[in-house]
Amino acid sequence: ETGVTQTPRHLVMGMTNKKSLKCEQHLGHNAMYWYKQSAKKPLELMFVYNFKEQTENNSVPSRFSPECPNSSHLFLHLHTLQPEDSALYLCASSQGILNYGYTFGSGTRLTVV
């Protein structure tokens, strides 16, 4: 499969649950990103990884925990979320800093109940 793949597409979880979002890219890109899109708000950058190293944490609460085991995979571990964390979570990748165009996945629609 080509492009950026995110699983699951939809997730409903309780506030005490622990779940993980997965992102995979087969484009040979070395940078990967998590973005959050809440209703009627711009996309918000959450985390950036470059060559598996985290280079950006945009003041994200600790209930969101990213993991990047290699340049092709990115996870977002979720625990004790709040209803206001319900949003579309988008993963993206790029070929480093010299190529500014990102390739996005289709996103995971998360609902916290």
Partner 1 sequence: DQQVKQNSPSLSVQEGRISILNCDYTNSMFDYFLWYKKYPAEGPTFLISISSIKDKNEDGRFTVFLNKSAKHLSLHIVPSQPGDSAVYFCAPHTGGFKTIFGAGTRLFVKA
Q: Does 59 bind partner 1 (CB under 8 A)?
A: no
The site string for partner 1 over 14-53 (x = CB under 8 A, - otherwise) reads -----------------x-x-x----xxxxxx--x-x---
- Closest distance to partner 1 from the beta carbon of 44 (Å): 8
* Nearer to partner 1 (CB atom), residue 81 or residue 94: 94
Residue 44: beta bridge partners?
36
HSE of 2, CA atoms in CB hemisphere, 13 A: 0
Query: What is each CA distance from 106 to 14, 15, 22, 88, in whole angstroms?
Result: 23, 24, 12, 9
With beta carbons less than 8 A apart as the criterion, state whether 76 and 57 touch: no
Distance between CA 46 and CA 26 in Å, rounded? 22
* Nearer to partner 1 (CB atom), residue 14 or residue 58: 58
Chain residues binding partner 1 by CB under 8 A are: 4, 6, 31, 33, 35, 40-45, 48, 50, 55-56, 90-92, 94, 97, 100-107
